[in-house]
Amino acid sequence: MAGVEQEQTRSEKPSEPWVIGVDLGGTKIAVGAVNRQGQVLARTVLPTPVSDGPQSVLAAIAEGMRQIAAGQSTPPAAVGLASPGPMDNKTGVAVAAANVGWYDFPVSGPLQSRFGWPIYLENDANAAALGEWAFGAGRGVENLIYVTISTGIGMGAVLHGRLYQGSHFTAGEAGHMVLVPDGPLCTCGERGCWEALASGTAITREAREAVARHPESLLAALAGGDPLRVSVAQVGEAVRRGDPVAQEVWERAVHYLEIGFTNLANLFDPDLFVVGGGVTNLSDLFLGRVEGYINAHANPGMRGRLKMVRAGLGSDSGVLGAAAVAWQGLPSESWVEQARQEAV
């Protein structure tokens, strides 16, 4: 297969149990071998052949799995596969992974009949939540809410040490909580959803409009005078340099983050919020403020006790989240206990 980048390191302890984590995205498929402690033993990245059709995407995943397994001396204990959209782990079917053209598409069956390994599917935000709980910033806590703020806003909940999936594998669509009736149109077709107000896409949209209205602003200068070139990073830079036009855009988005996280605190009363996604590159400009706000505005019983941290897994977070799904899917509940004990 053309265009495959591969970077592999052999496990120092080849006989230890390991799993495969598959992070399926619209442009690339990251596949890794991961041990129980969350170390990535080997990894490979393949392009996602979306234009070749849904079966080609599945074939590329299988090729990544084959490459990773070929580098290890024992077969994997299980495979975890994380993808955007709802994933029905009971039937092994991707319900709707729009970015790769999978609709009611069987995933686990074909892979299992080829390799014979247990396969566990999960939504990517849920997998990231479990990965942060098992290996990252949320190790050992009882109740963790993970929120990713990037092009959209996604959420995953680990409650009492288990991922909460909902009855239709769709729990945690916090990005579609409506905060402003008749607000900006969302990708889901509704109006005023949280992600239409505070995601990277929403910030960019507001910044473009602000630049068009204020061509004299620093933000406009950073974008070379072209509203279409405005980025979230430029908004952050202009905020730091005191540009009132950027600050107005930013303050509005941060306030919607404050309100959205307060709603989540009131719903879940978690030990910890873990926040990931591209917008956290500007975490110093909002994370502490949002934490302060929720501790002043959530229900009085939890005020002053809510914590919020940036996600800890970095560039391997997708693979590690999928691997955590594989570990949690295995019948040995002991892994959950072990992960907790090791964190204490």
List interacting residues with Zn ion (CB under 5 A). Answer: 176, 186, 188, 190, 193
Q: Are 154 and 265 in contact (CB under 8 A)?
A: no
| Shortest Å, Cβ 186 to Zn ion | 3
Work out whether the CA dihedral 74, 9, 134, 264 comes out positive or negative: negative
Long-range pairs of 136-140 with CB within 8 A, sequence gap ≥ 24: 136/38, 136/274, 136/311, 136/312, 136/313, 136/317, 136/320, 137/272, 137/274, 137/309, 137/310, 137/311, 137/312, 137/313, 138/272, 138/274, 138/309, 139/339, 139/342, 139/343, 140/339, 140/340, 140/343, 140/344
| Shortest Å, Cβ 173 to Zn ion | 8
d(CA 335, CA 328): 7
| Shortest Å, Cβ 233 to Zn ion | 24
- HSE (CB half, 13 Å, CA atoms) of 168? 5
CB nearer to Zn ion: pick between 18 and 256: 256
In sequence order, the β-bridge partners of residue 120 are: 80
CB nearer to Zn ion: pick between 186 and 211: 186
| Shortest Å, Cβ 188 to Zn ion | 3
Work out whether the CA dihedral 57, 114, 333, 340 comes out positive or negative: negative
| Shortest Å, Cβ 275 to Zn ion | 19
Residue 142 has φ and ψ, to the nearest 5°, of: -80, -50
Could you tell me the two tokens for 247?
């600050």
CB nearer to Zn ion: pick between 32 and 154: 154
d(CA 66, CA 107): 16
CB nearer to Zn ion: pick between 202 and 211: 202
| Shortest Å, Cβ 287 to Zn ion | 23
| Shortest Å, Cβ 189 to Zn ion | 7
In sequence order, the β-bridge partners of residue 18 are: 35
CB nearer to Zn ion: pick between 24 and 196: 196
CB nearer to Zn ion: pick between 190 and 284: 190
CB nearer to Zn ion: pick between 188 and 228: 188
Q: Which position has the token pair 């430029």?
A: 234
